Every structure is written in structure tokens, then in C-alpha cells.
Amino acid sequence: MYVKVCGITNLDQAQAIASLGVNALGFICVPQSQRYINPKQLRAITYSLPSTVEQIGVFVNANLSAIAELWQDCQLSGVQLHGQETPEFCCQLRQRLPTAKLIKAITVKSAADLALALSYSPFVDVLLFDAYHPQLAGGTGKTIDWDILQQWHSSPTAWWLAGGLHPGNVAQAITLLKPQGVDVSSGVERKPGDKDLDKVKQFLTALRSLT
């Protein structure tokens, strides 16, 4: 099970969480976000982490050049698109950054959103299903309607589950929906951008109880 902890803003927390055996850390590169991390702070973290932990920059409706510049400058492993980016945009980004892991977040309100997700499959490595919120792109603490996700017919593209996951429900979510990965942010925080290491450990313990 692939595990990504998103919304990292603190160097010490990043290093501590990386040492717990997660697969990836996510960094919000969106100035309007409560979890925003500026390029200088991001470089200080990404340059200090082991290569075994992937480092994912999260963007919302950014332009290609801005994404590519930050990806290279901060030595990111991948890019997560969390806005209204089109499949065509994802194709262009793939051509611009052929070695990056590309993740497209899909906010799920209805089964129609699952059909939309299929149009991205040829151009990205991962589809990330997240909860819908009318104002916020992610990290809301809201849970997807899991009944809708049970209608998902897997494509060749890997898919990860996000949206309201926490130590108390992640095992149930995995058992019911069987994603290839999970992405957690608010469910392991004290406040936006401030991770609670005990909650991260509890989250991982819940996951490992399934194996």
C-alpha cells in the first residue's frame, strides 16, 4: 500500500515522517493554501530527504513553466495537479517532464466524476480521488461518499484514495475500496500544516494491521 502524507511545511516533521517508512511526502505549492510552503522552505526539506521517499509538489491551475521550474529547482519526484487541469494539459506536462510521477486529483461528487477520470488515464501515473468542497481544493477533512467509489471500475492507471482519512477509518476504507494508495493530510494534523507524529504513527499502524 502506497502512503503519501501531504501538506508538509516543517523540516523536522518531514524528516521524522520520512523515517517512519512512508512512500511520499506532499508539499502544497499554492500560495492561497493554509499549508503553502514557499520555494526556499521547500528546497531546505527536499534536499535533506533520502531518495527512498518521493517528494510531490501539489499545484492548482498553475502554468506549465511554473510547475517545471519548481520541479527542477526543488528536485521533486512528482507533480500532483489538484485543479481544473485538462487531459490535454496533463499530456503537455508529461512531454515537458517525462521523468516526473504525474498525479491528477479528481474531486468526486457523483459517478460522472469517475467517468471523467478515465479521460486522464493515458497521460498520468496516478488518479487521486478526493472529496468535493465548493471552495477548497483539498485537505478539507471531508470524506468521499464511498458508495460512489464502489462503482469505480479500475483502469490500467493506479488510483489512490484521499478525503477525510484518519487513523480511525483508513483500514475500513482500504478493505471496502481496495485502492493502490492512500493520501492523508488533515487526518494526521494538529492544525493545517502542523503534523501530529503520534497520529501519523497510528495511521500507519492501522494500515499495517491489514497485512
Average pLDDT over residues 17-22: 97
The residue annotated as part of the active site, out of 6, 29, 74, 90, is 6
pLDDT tens per residue, range 58-92: 999 999 999 999 999 999 999 999 999 999 999 99
Strands 24-28 and 2-5: parallel
- How does pLDDT run across 144-162, given as a tens digit for each residue? 888 888 878 767 899 999 9
Q: Smallest Cα–Cα separation from 92: which of 70, 132, 112, 120?
A: 120
Cβ-count burial 137-172 (b if 16+ within 10 Å, e if not): bbbbbebbeeebbeebeeeebbbbbbbbbbbeebbe
pLDDT of residue 141: 56
Look at residues 207, 206, 211, 200 and name the one whose alpha carbon lies nearest to residue 20.
200
Specify the pLDDT at position 135.
45
Average pLDDT over residues 134-143: 53
Helical axes 64-73 vs 87-96, angle rounded to 10°: 40
pLDDT band at 50 (very low <50, low <70, confident <90, very high): very high
pTM over 0.85: yes
**Is it the case that residue 211 has pLDDT exceeding 90?**
no
Q: What is the CATH number of the domain that holds 176?
A: 3.20.20.70
35 by Cβ neighbours in 10 Å (0-12 / 13-18 / 19+) ranks as buried
**Across the chain, what does the average pLDDT equal?**
92
Q: Return the SS3 of 146.
A: helix
Domain assignment of residue 63, given as a range: 2-208
Number of compact structural domains in the chain = 1
Percent of the chain as helix, strand, coil, to the nearest 5 = 35, 20, 45
Q: Answer yes or no: 130 catalytic.
A: yes
| 3-state secondary structure at position 161 | strand
3-state SS of 37-89 is CCHHHHHHHHCCCCCCCEEEEEECCCCHHHHHHHHHHCCCCEEEECCCCCHHH
56 contacts 103 by C-beta, under 8 angstroms: yes
Q: Tell me, what's the pLDDT at 140?
A: 54
Task: Band the pLDDT of 124: cuts 50, 70, 90.
Answer: very high
Query: Which is the catalytic residue, given 29, 74, 90, 130?
Result: 130
Report the residue count for the chain. Answer: 211
6 is a catalytic site residue? yes
Whether residue 46 has pLDDT greater than 60: yes
pLDDT of amino acid 136: 45
pLDDT at 132: 52
Q: What are residue 129's DSSP bridge partners?
A: 106, 161
